[in-house]
Chain A
């Protein structure tokens, strides 16, 4: 596998050609961190004066944001003028790097492509080393918009005459993706509108039902759907134009009429001989002629050992044990009497079809038979009647054969029925496009009615009144949990832990944090509820390790950020984001203070405990 250029060489070359400051986009966070680590062995540092400037800046900055004061990357940044910037870092660190970059104190920043949108600082040069990014499961090519977003960071207005994009190959790069991306037209954007439960509740709170239909019609989604519907409408118009010559003839709906006629005719013509040649009586008998059954043959009584069909003609055959103790084969139709007597045994697959002991038993049974064992009455099924509808049609007299337009119909029916089908499809599609969103809304409303947030007339119930204030993902799960009083009297740290596990939707490797028993039981209950709601709302990941992180941070107020981060393998930035998101969820619960004062107080307590150190730095 061909290697990529070494980060130190890369920065050297950029410096030589006066292409710094540069943003270097790499695929992974790890790549960025490793690139920075290599600089420890580099000899080419920045000048002492610049190093000093960076130092003073960072010192000043860490007064406002103490969380970066002891950042492990500070020496590299000061000595070599390079830094890493990705989602694994704290926001304060990222702001510091961005600010340093704006002041032109850094030569290179290693950043991940995935967060290109969050990178809001320009440079003279942008280095791109891959043409694809990791998206949830696999790799996908960068889109034109994404590449232009990346490349757009090159060239600072007012500070550069020209900007540069440097493409440097790494394994699996496709230059053409980048070529297209740099010069092409960005993709059009499409609406991603979906109706959510909070949306339904909030719209119903403020608007009448008929107004809501109008509001949904105002969405960009509907605007785009209407455009598509218009295309189908045009096509429908064309189809109807084409259908004109096939208007009503002798009968109004001649195509349908012809189809029925055709069906009947075919049915008559293709009446196949029945494949099964067994007589009805034999067919009725066969289910009873099973292994172990006592039967009467012309020669005398016998016990069936197995039933099979003959190889050639498929005649049903029996292997039997005769009364005199011999084994024999006979056709099933030769059976004279079927007695109401079955002897269970373990059949085996080859002669004599049963274990020797059973054979011996059967011989005994046959020798001691009563004169007239009870017989089994066989009910012969009558011939199955034809499909009633079809038999009706078959007996009906058709006008078609004598109709004056018979020939014309025969000629046109293929084209006309195809056109009709297409027209029907187009009409259906148009309907679906026009009403799709409204139906989506109605379905969601039905679910909410089922759970008791809405009355039958789609008015908000008391539950709905407060339920609409939860406007986050998994809102149904959270409101249901509140209704079940799952959170009554809960400690703030437990509430935060549960919220964290609901909020966190990232499946990056776990952090091996030990759960307290209380949280574990709580999470098990939440999971049960989530599973029961599976049909209505996607189930959250409910990771217990992230719950434990939140629980520790809220529960142990003396715990320092550094020791929290040390106790998990999650990146600092990820922990920050997890807690920030939990805070958001908690603040939504705090919003229920009018109806659930106790719970809101708990949430508030959790929020207060949450907001310390790093989490208090930024709003």
Chain B
């Protein structure tokens, strides 16, 4: 066993063993860090190093395990006891409680195209919007747009006007194109500060500021838009309510919205949707506000850690990211990250 091999083996061992080797050989070994310990072991005379190498071999062969293969399927059994035994010393095999990279990468792929079946929460939201205001708080990409399109269709069927607002002009434009494809070009209009494209269409897209201005004008009498047929207002990205500069516009819009109009607030996951719902119920006495809070993602999300050297390992101990249950980093991630932070990486 040459120096390089020995060093690699030593690095993979817990520091406890290194102290055992160093006992009687290195002065004040208990004061040394792992790296310094390894350095001083390697600096020992060759016969002592031979002896240590022998001991190392004994230790690493005793739990009969082949090193260097990561993600041993057996070791990742969920029924295995959680505490890792100190005998498992092979370098890249993660302790038993953690899962391997293979498990994590398992199941990548494209599902068969199948007819779209709405989730229960989506159905619930669509049903609720028929008779009350609705707040949908759901993670990104979980299908809030579906709720919006269903609600728009409902309202259109009743010959009502629908206003869809988004916080950014860029998002307005994207939605304009999306809805134009979905409902047909003549059904969708867009309003900006100076432009009115197809403003007589049943579905109007605008930024929230524009809607606020329309509501200002409506309440002061000089109205140029059909507010009496306004059946539904959809506020996308309503978490902007907390935006330091523009949040006030959302509040004004919600306060000034006519009472007969249904509100549909689509928001990313926020901490207090209940509070928002209580507020809306309080200020709009004729209708209650239905809260739909969906925290589960429709596509499970998994976390990986990519070391700058190109090594890919799981980030967390669990396979899928689980919400609100705390987190523990995967031991490999911890090891690699410590290395990254403290050792200049070449």
Contacts and interface: CB of A to CB of B under 8 A. Distances in A.
A10 B309 CA distance: 10
25 contacts: A4-B308, A18-B109, A149-B268, A153-B140, A160-B299, A161-B110, A163-B302, A166-B304, A168-B306, A175-B333, A183-B324, A185-B323, A186-B268, A189-B241, A189-B272, A189-B276, A190-B242, A193-B251, A206-B219, A218-B283, A220-B251, A220-B276, A471-B216, A586-B194, A619-B197
B325 interface: yes
Interface of B: 105, 107-111, 113, 116, 139-143, 167-171, 173-174, 176-177, 190, 192-195, 197, 209, 212-213, 216, 219-221, 237, 239, 241-245, 247-248, 251-252, 254-255, 268-272, 275-276, 278-279, 282-283, 297-308, 310, 312, 315-316, 320-327, 329, 333, 337, 340-341, 344-345
Given A166-B304, A167-B306, A584-B194, 4 more contacts: A120-B171, A145-B268, A192-B247, A220-B276
A527 interface: no
Contact of B327 (A149, A165, A182, A206): A182
Contact of A205 (B220, B272, B306): B220
Interface in A7-66: 9-10, 13, 17-19
Interface in A371-428: none
B108 A619 contact: no
Given A162-B108, A191-B242, A183 B308 contact: no
A219 B213 CA distance: 17
A260 B261 CA distance: 62
Given A13-B306, A118-B168, A152-B268, A194 B312 contact: no
Nearest to A154: B301
* Residue of A162, A186, A587, A619 with most partner-chain B CB within 10 A: A619
Interface stretch (A91-99, A230-238, A267-275, A278-286): A91-99
Contact of A580 (B140, B169, B297): B169
Contacts of B254: 220
B220 A220 contact: no
B305 A167 contact: yes
Contacts of A10: 306
Interface in A451-473: 468, 471
Contacts of A18: 105, 108-109
A169 B337 contact: yes
Given A183-B324, A223-B279, A590-B194, A189 B239 contact: yes
B242 A162 contact: no
A122 B247 CA distance: 26
A164 B304 CA distance: 7
* Residue of B213, B237, B306, B321 with most partner-chain A CB within 10 A: B306
B194 A161 contact: no
A612 interface: no
A194 B252 CA distance: 10
A110 to B, nearest CB: 15
B305 A191 contact: no
A252 interface: no
Given A118-B170, A122-B141, A163-B302, A186 B271 contact: yes
A156 B297 CA distance: 11
Contacts of B216: 202, 206, 468, 471
Contact of A148 (B169, B244, B247, B269): B269
Contacts of B171: 118, 120
